[in-house]
Amino acid sequence: MQVRTSARRQGRAEVGLSWQLREWQHLSQQQREPQAENPAYLAAQWRVRRQLRALWADPTAGDCGALAARLQLPAAALRARVRGTPALGELWEWVRATSPALPVPLLPLSQALRELPRLIQRLIQRHGCGPAAPAGGLSAAPAGRADTVRAADR
């Protein structure tokens, strides 16, 4: 896919593409590089979210204690939130705000861009998936309604 945009630096939106282009130009003039989130940390965070989603969907099916330990949260607090939170997004936001294990460090953009293809390749090799992922494999497809509201709450 190819996307063409205007390179104008004055736009109608307060914080839009023109603003971002001005920011990048300013960084370039200062000989500084834009920062990006570390792809490996993001992938680890998404794996944790997938585990949390499975536990939230069926609190009796997963190991809440192991996930709590990974998140560096008290197991009782996580268990109570999993059982008492009707929306996955609300639970995820609580975990992100509370867990000391989830910060995603920033990298220079050039380094993140070098690491991302390597990470994708490792994931493809490990999980045997690609653009046409088999059912149950990793996918970039958007989450369905079941990911946001429990079936019992519908």
Residues facing 37 on adjacent strands: 106
Q: Which two tokens stand for residue 37?
A: 């989130």
As a whole number of Å, the end-to-end CA separation of the chain is 37
Q: Which two tokens stand for residue 135?
A: 């059912």
Question: Assign residue 136 a region: left if phi > 0, alpha if psi is -120 to 50, beta otherwise?
Answer: left
pLDDT confidence of residue 28:
82
Q: Is 143 helix (H, G, I), strand (E, B) or coil?
A: coil
Q: Residue 85 pLDDT more than 80?
A: yes
Q: Residue 142 pLDDT more than 80?
A: no
Which tens digit of pLDDT belongs to each residue from 6-56?
777 777 778 888 888 888 888 888 988 889 999 999 999 999 999 999 999
Span 83-89, mean pLDDT? 95
